[in-house]
Amino acid sequence: MKITRVEAWLVKMQLTEPYTAAYDTIETTANVFVRIVTDGRIVGCGCAAPDEQVTGETPEGVLEVIRTVVEPAVKGTDPLRPALLRERLERGLRHEPSARAAVDMALFDILGKKCELPVWKLLGGYRDCMKTSVTIGILSEPDAVASAQQWIKQGFTALKMKGGLDVDSDVARVLKVREAVGDGIELRFDANQGYTVDEALRFIDLTRDARLELLEQPTLQGQPDLLGEVSREVSLPIMADESLASLRDAFRLASSDLTDMLNVKLMKVGGISEAMEIVAVAKSARLKVMVGSVDESALGVAAGLHYALSSPAVVYADLDGHLGLQDDPAAGAVQLDAGILYPTNRPGLGFDLPA
């Protein structure tokens, strides 16, 4: 089997409900969809979700490197040798992690279709479904409570609240939401780098009654030692997100004991292959892993889900990046029921993009 061509196109999608995080208000997203076509009638599908804040890429830049770097490098090659192809592409896509992720997805999709197995089974098959949290942006206290109650009515039992702009406001919202949802709901908080060490410690102290499950990336990504200061001072698990963009970052965070958990986003680290290596580092350091998402198509979420299902080290999922995206070409690539995500269980990633 040989690769005959690589197709890529840009899709801009509106969010039905814009949300606010510490660094921006998000109303739209743009994904680049990829089809790797072979002469064996198997087509591998992937997508990139570039984000200048998260991945350092633009949609137009990703589209360009797919056409000028990826297709010339892989055309005519055997897609069942993915390690060789990833090595060949590494230098040309060094600064384009979501582009790498899209190609990596498509190659895993081809492999799964060739083997007639879903990717999650090829990767290890530890579990067959996964609970996901759903995100509540920075809102007023009444709106945050209303949003939490609405998600719970839909069956979600894990909520992740955004903050990082003001500690006192964040504390008040968290306590109000906990009061409203009761004890049976998992509550997580993401400060998106918005706190100093002292602010993070104050937030943790003042929200003890809310029984948070974890605090995600309270301090600046460029100063990982600050994350370690927070982690060493408190019993609440501290999770690295923006501080983790590569296997090397995972090793540094783990070896220096700077965090308790890692948030692995395929778009940020470069795909399933790199994420599997990060899981190995996390497991060796006894760090728990959450698989996360950006604002991405259900196809990207499907890839994250297949990764999450593969290993016992991945204990949490925050795979809600596809919810509320209008006109997603890959709608249906995952199944969601009462806060639980299921793969389609078709071969590969379980979804075929239309030609």
Catalytic residue among 96, 190, 199, 296: 190
Q: What is the pLDDT of residue 22?
A: 64
Q: What is the pLDDT of residue 38?
A: 97
What are the C-alpha distances in Å from 246 to residues 50, 242, 340, 352? Answer: 16, 10, 28, 29
283 is catalytic: no
Q: What is the pLDDT of residue 23?
A: 63
Q: What is the pLDDT of residue 26?
A: 77
Catalytic residue among 57, 199, 216, 249: 216
209 is catalytic: no
CATH topology of domain 3-116: Enolase-like; domain 1 (3.30.390)
288 is catalytic: no
Catalytic residue among 265, 295, 296, 328: 265
Catalytic residue among 170, 213, 241, 295: 241
Question: If you classify domain 121-343 with CATH, what class do you get?
Answer: alpha beta
User: The pTM is what?
Assistant: 0.95
Domain with CATH 3.30.390.10 in the chain: 3-116
Domain with CATH 3.20.20.120 in the chain: 121-343
pLDDT, mean of each 10-residue run, the chain (355 residues): 97 86 78 96 97 93 97 97 94 94 98 98 97 96 97 97 96 98 97 97 98 98 95 97 96 96 98 97 96 97 98 96 94 97 97 91
190 is catalytic: yes
Catalytic residue among 96, 162, 249, 318: 162
2 is catalytic: no
